[in-house]
Amino acid sequence: MFARSGRRLVGVLLSLATATLLAGPAASAASPEPQSTVNGGDAMYTVSPGPGREPYYCSAGFAIVVKSVRYILTAGHCTEHGLDWKDIGPNEDSHFPVTDYGRIRDVSGSGNARVDLYNGNTQRILRAGTPRVGQVVCKSGMSTKKTCGKVLGLNQTVNYGGGKQVVGTIATDIPIESGDSGGPLFSGATGYGVLSGGNSRVSFYQPLPAVLAAYGARLA
């Protein structure tokens, strides 16, 4: 079954060209404090504004800079509630559905775009690119850590149910779990996208070059 990460996965049927995905809502809140550099794939924590103040988790994507202001790029369904992420900063915006990306203001204000390899090392990300079908790529996320696989297709459409659809995604055979949403897809020093959703067989990523162009951003 597929899922948008956060910490709620629900199921879906996939055809390589079009996937159907059911997913839970995104999250929010917790008071921000300056912290050390946030790397791609690191856990991020917030609290739902709804009844019960439910804890909600996603993964950091890429450190970016827009007009000299630093942000953490992640999935838009993670930032759609518009509150704060503990020890990182406040949500800046959310773009979901159709696309799936959003920004968190990085109050730590330091550090280059790096991905946590979960072996004590990080990988500096120097550029954004588009992978080839069949290419080996890797992702990093709080639940499944660093895992690798192959690109299954480009320009894929994912239907999350309730009229929510994300178009133009990168599909891979890398398994993901709840909490991995927003984490980076990369190979070496090249970043390709941030995780939108998936399951134990397939995962879908919002392409990074289009997001940087939309924000007028660069990698930190």
The encoded tokens of residue 163 equal 């009229």
* 181 tagged catalytic: yes
Q: Which of 77, 84, 94, 196 is catalytic?
A: 77
H or E element that contains 127: strand 127-128
The answer to whether 8 and 178 have CB atoms below 8 angstroms apart is: yes
> How many alpha carbons fall within 13 Å on the CB side of residue 113?
28
CA 132 to CA 91: how far, in whole Å? 32
What are φ and ψ of residue 77, in 5° steps?
-70, -15
Residue 29 neighbours by CB under 8 Å, 6+ apart? 46, 47, 48, 49, 53, 81, 83, 84
CA 124 to CA 112: how far, in whole Å? 7
* 140 tagged catalytic: no
* 106 tagged catalytic: no
Q: Which of 42, 84, 100, 116 is catalytic?
A: 100
Dihedral, 94, 151, 203, 11 alpha carbons, nearest 10? 130
CA 175 to CA 92: how far, in whole Å? 29
Residues serving a catalytic function are: 77, 100, 181
